[in-house]
Structure 1
């Protein structure tokens, strides 16, 4: 049996927490170890706990009283190894981008089905990031125009200099929301080669995961609305 993934549910709507718990507790490899109704409680439940008692993942709502999900995510990821999977509405909450910058390992639409929710949790638990291509594209189209002058950060431009031309192409496509197989087809490469390029990009730029490749691509002005 796979090691149990421990989870904390952070959402101010009790019925949402009940629904998630019913799905999650039915899984042999997952256990919900707590529920909280606001961001401050989420931070306290993780940061103040002994390391062995901390959840592996927090399912974090964005809009909560006392402390929103962005601030809670930043506090948790800065102080602990607990990962955060942000929950957002179908229309994509305007705070999602900030939550990714704050250290979230991905975002999931609140109306995602059980299979998608479970796959996302298992992906994050295994060290991967959850960047659903369709949701990423909507995020791009909605929020890139409102971001502060993408590409005007000299630090981001300077960091790009360490990448090869091919790695820049791959990073741009990741930022546009393409997965490895789509990138391979577009660049006429093998999928394993694309995966290797992604690994090199993460290492060279000091990025944690694929989510933060997307965030970096935004900041560096490598992606634009309509891709």
Structure 2
């Protein structure tokens, strides 16, 4: 029951994560700039394509694929999710899992975007970035008297491309990567990565449905 509530809560706030990932490539040398520009890019595309989205909610996957996925460090996040089981997998198995995980992220954020209700975002003031990883604090301002949601976005400079990418988000201290790692560890332990990949592929294929 607790895990179901946690996953439901995370799915509601994950829409804010999408707003902070999708950005213009020219700013890829500064994660603070990336986050500041993200909201306008992603939600501008959503606003401009409302008729398409209402006709076919799966069009949100197209927007997520174009605006978000190039800026998500899928393989690094996926390796963290696999944790101790990473070393016991073959390169071919990992490649298939990462591909499935990529589609899973696309579907998850596309579905989460149906919950967007014009929340406001406050990003902490930029700081000097001296290392290859940085955590950036964000407050999501809710309507009425609701308390803000505190988020942390974890950015890492890709060692191969040199671009900053997001690999994890924590909501009120709860890491999405750690949540999936705990949720999927039992399958990895009992049935192995091939079974997990099949389950992730199935979850990724679920059609996007508009929220009522």
TM range (shorter): under 0.3
What is the TM-score with the length of structure 2 in the denominator?
0.25
Query: Whose helix proportion is higher, 1 or 2?
Result: 2
Larger RCO of the pair (alpha carbons < 8 Å, separation 6+) = 2
